[in-house]
Amino acid sequence: MTEFTPKIVAFVCNWCAYGGADNAGSQKLEYPAAVKLIRVMCSGRVEPEMVMQAFRQGADGVMVLGCHPGDCHYRNGNMKALRRFRLFSRLLAQFGIHQDRFVFDWVAASEGKKFQTVATRLAAAVQKLGPLSLTGYVRQGEPS
C-alpha cells in the first residue's frame, strides 16, 4: 500500500493570511508541503462553491484563512466569510465530509507561527482521517 499524502488547499486572503504564510516562510517555520496556497483578495471572496470544487477535485482538506475581526481590508468581508463557513461546516457534515477536514480561521500578516500551527493541525487531522471519498457519488458497477 502506498502511503497517503494528503492534499490540502488553503485559500488565503491577500492582506493578512497570505502575509502570515509568507511570514512563516521568512522565519523558516516549516509547514506541511501538502498545503497548496491560493491567494484571494479577501476571505469574503471565497465562495462555498470554491471549497466544494476543491473537495470535488481531490482535496482531502481545505482551509480558508482571513484577517482577524476588525482588520478586514474591505471592512467586513471576513465577517461575511465567518457566517458563510460556520453554516457551510454544518452542511459539509450532512454530506458526509468530516468537519475536521475544513478549517476557517484568522491569521494576521505577522502571525507566521499561527499559520504554521493551523496548517500543521489540519494536515495531521486529515492524515488521521485518510483520503476523502465523497458519498453520494457513483460507485463501481453502477450505471456508466
Partner 1 sequence: MKRKSSRAAKAAKISKPALRRTKTRKYAPRAKTAAAPKPKVAFYWCSSCGGCEEAVVDLEENILEVTAAVDIVFWPCALDFKTEDVRALPDQSLAVAFINGAVRTSEQEEMVKLLRAKSQLVIAFGACAVQGGIPSLANLKDKESIITRAYREAESVVNPKGTLPQENTTLHGESLTIPRFYETVYTLADVIPVDYYLPGCPPTRSLLEDALHAILGNRLPARGAVLAPNHSLCKTCERNATKPDRLMIQDLKRIHQVAADPESCFLAQGLLCLGPATRDGCGQACIKANMPCTGCFGPLSHFDQGAKMLSALAGIFQAEGETAADHFAASVVDPAGTFYRYGVAASLLGGRRKERSHG
Residues at the interface with partner 1 (CB under 8 A) = 47-49, 52-53, 55-58, 69, 76, 79-80, 82-84, 86-92, 94-97, 133-140, 142-143
Compute the residue count for the chain: 144
**Nearer Cβ to partner 1 (24/82):** 82
106, β-bridge pairs: 66
Quick one: 80 or 113, whose CB is closer to partner 1? 80
Least distance from partner 1 to the Cβ atom of residue 7, Å: 13
Type and span of the H or E element at 97:
none
> Rounded to whole angstroms, how far apart are CA atoms 20 and 142?
46
Specify the 3-state DSSP secondary structure of 63.
strand
Instruction: Give 33 or 138: the residue with its C-beta nearer to partner 1.
Output: 138
Min dist CB 60 to partner 1, Å, is 13
Q: What number of other Cβ atoms are within 10 A of residue 61's Cβ? A: 29
19 is written with which cell numbers?
502575509
Residues 6+ apart with CB under 8 A from 96: 134, 135, 136
Q: Which is nearer to partner 1, 26 or 137 (CB)?
A: 137
Distance in Å, CB of 102 to partner 1, minimum: 12
Closest separation in Å from C-beta 96 to partner 1:
7
